[in-house]
């Protein structure tokens, strides 16, 4: 007995058996069995469509579904179950429509994908999938402006890139330049366009084409291309040097101001010390004057102590030891 699991369309065909007997040896059977794969299959008509067109997907089978005259079909897209679709019997219709039950639906390129189907209650027996391709003209067309890394005499070339979403992909690009009111067509039909002669007043746009249609980008103004990488580097160096100079100058000013404040504090302390020293000197002078007065009073001794001296004048040393001069004092008359 032959058992086939996970039946596939390639398993379809005629099957016969071969028997080995003791008397006759190997012998093929005169009759066989025909296996025809009659599982579910998705058919798409047409399989390649454009946005806005209508496409019909049919969940088809060669066998007769006994016991279920009105089966319910389930549809899947990219492995995910679909809901809110317009179906009639075993067909799924994709187009732009609006109904009271399912609401508004617009067929677009988002409907492209891999579709399969199954019967309710037999979800594990899915049909062989089919791919729906949706073509559309270029859209979201934009121009990107960049600069070349190579510089010549301080100038850089401008690289223009035309980006567009299309299926089939864009096969031709047309570049336009506008300077004021004049519009000219540039040479080259590639996605990237390099232009080394650029004016600040130039505006560019591209036109993307495929076999479905074409779309223009918006005008893109080229920025100041004179700011080449070399010029930018010079500006950066100048900015760094200027900043460094300002920092050094600020540090010098702060240091000088700090020095002045320190000198002012030192002068104030010196003046205070001199003032204290002046008070000390004046005190010393006053003390010296008082001492000299006392010494002078002491010098005028009692005349009775000098009764044996014949002269009326006496000589004595000054009381201040810092001087070596002599002073002559007149003898005081005794009372």
Provide the terminal-to-terminal Cα distance of the chain, rounded to the nearest Å: 175
Distances (CA, A) of 68 to 28, 38, 65, 119, 292: 40, 16, 6, 11, 149
- Mean pLDDT over 291-297 rounds to 49
If 0-12 CB within 10 Å is exposed, 13-18 middle and 19+ buried, where does residue 84 land?
exposed
- Looking at residue 66, its pLDDT comes to 61
Q: How far apart are CA 73 and CA 92, in angstroms?
A: 9
| Range in 31-45, 104-118, 219-233, 264-278 the model is least confident about | 219-233
| Range in 134-138, 217-221, 228-232 the model is least confident about | 228-232
Q: Is the dihedral of CA 180, 186, 190, 193 positive or negative?
A: negative
Q: How far apart are CA 184 and CA 217, in angstroms?
A: 15
- Is the pLDDT at 275 greater than 80, yes or no? no
Question: Does the reported pTM lie above 0.75?
Answer: no
- Looking at residue 233, its pLDDT comes to 67
The angle subtended at Cα 224 by Cα 221 and Cα 227, nearest 5°, is 150
- Looking at residue 7, its pLDDT comes to 65
Q: Which residue has the higher pLDDT, 130 or 236?
A: 130
- Mean pLDDT over 323-332 rounds to 47
* Residue 86: other Cβ atoms inside 10 A: 14
pLDDT in tens, 153-172: 345 567 888 999 999 999 99
| Range in 11-25, 40-54, 247-261, 278-292 the model is least confident about | 278-292
Q: With bands split at pLDDT 50, 70 and 90, how would you rate the model's confidence at 278? A: low
Q: Which residue has the higher pLDDT, 284 or 132?
A: 132
- Looking at residue 147, its pLDDT comes to 65
| Range in 20-29, 79-88, 105-114, 320-329 the model is least confident about | 320-329
Q: Which residue has the higher pLDDT, 116 or 302?
A: 116
- Is the pLDDT at 78 greater than 90, yes or no? yes
Six token digits for residue 258: 């700090």
- Mean pLDDT over 46-52 rounds to 82
- Looking at residue 210, its pLDDT comes to 93
- Is the pLDDT at 328 greater than 60, yes or no? no
- Mean pLDDT over 269-288 rounds to 55
pLDDT in tens, 88-110: 888 888 865 444 444 445 667 88
Q: Which one, of 324, 322, 316, 317, lies nearest residue 285 by Cα?
A: 322
Q: Which range has the top average pLDDT, 101-105, 134-138, 248-252?
A: 134-138
Average pLDDT, the chain: 71
3-state secondary structure the chain: CCCCCCCCHHHCEEECCEEEECCCEEEECCCCEEECCCCCEEEEECCEEECCCCEEEEEECCCCCCCCCCCCEEEEECCEECCCCEEECCEEEECCEEECCCEEECCCHHHCEEEEEEECCECCCCCECEEEEEEEEEEEEEEEEEEEEEEECCEEEEEEEEEEEEECCCCEEEEEEEECCEEEEECCCCCEEEECCCCCCEEEEEEEECCCCEEECCCEECCCCCCCHHHHHHHHHHHHHHHHHHHHHHHHHHHHHHHHHHHHHHHHHHHHHHHHHHHHHHHHHHHHHHHHHHHHHHHCCCHHHHCCCCCCEEEEECCCCCCCCEEEEECCCCC
- Is the pLDDT at 79 greater than 70, yes or no? yes
- Is the pLDDT at 32 greater than 80, yes or no? no
Structural contact between residues 88 and 105, judged by C-beta atoms closer than 8 angstroms: no
Q: With bands split at pLDDT 50, 70 and 90, how would you rate the model's confidence at 281? A: very low
- Mean pLDDT over 319-326 rounds to 47
Distances (CA, A) of 319 to 84, 285, 313: 132, 14, 18
């Amino acid at each position: 007995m032959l058992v086939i699991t996970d039946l596939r369309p390639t398993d379809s065909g005629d099957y016969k058996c071969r028997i080995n007997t003791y008397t006759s040896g190997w012998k093929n059977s005169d009759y066989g069995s025909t296996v025809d794969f009659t599982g579910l299959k998705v058919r798409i008509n047409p399989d390649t469509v454009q946005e806005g067109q209508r496409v019909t997907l049919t969940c088809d089978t060669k066998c007769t579904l006994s016991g279920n005259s009105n089966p319910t079909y389930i549809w899947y897209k990219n492995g995910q179950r679909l809901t809110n679709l317009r179906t009639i019997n075993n067909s799924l219709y994709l187009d732009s429509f609006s109904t009271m039950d399912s609401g508004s639906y617009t067929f677009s390129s988002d409907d492209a994908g891999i579709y399969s189907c199954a019967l309710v209650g037999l979800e594990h027996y899915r049909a062989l999938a089919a791919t729906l391709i949706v073509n559309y003209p270029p859209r979201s067309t934009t121009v990107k402006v960049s600069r070349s890394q190579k510089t010549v005499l301080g100038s850089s070339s401008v690289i223009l890139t035309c980006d567009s979403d299309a299926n089939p992909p864009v096969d031709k690009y047309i570049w336009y330049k506008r300077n004021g009111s004049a519009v000219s067509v540039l040479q080259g039909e590639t996605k990237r366009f390099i232009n080394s002669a650029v004016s600040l007043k130039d505006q560019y746009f591209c036109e993307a084409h495929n076999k479905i249609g074409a779309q223009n980008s918006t005008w893109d103004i080229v920025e100041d291309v004179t700011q080449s990488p070399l010029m930018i580097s010079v500006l950066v160096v100048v900015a760094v040097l200027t900043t460094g100079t300002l920092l050094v100058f600020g540090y010098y000013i702060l240091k000088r101001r700090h020095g002045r404040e320190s000198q002012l504090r030192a002068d104030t302390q010196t003046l205070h010390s001199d003032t204290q020293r002046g008070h000390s000197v004046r005190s010393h002078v006053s003390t010296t004057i008082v001492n000299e007065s006392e010494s002078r009073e002491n010098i005028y001794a009692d005349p009775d102590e000098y009764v044996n001296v014949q002269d009326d004048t006496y000589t004595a040393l000054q009381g201040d030891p810092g001087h070596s001069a002599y002073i002559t004092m007149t003898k005081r008359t005794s009372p």
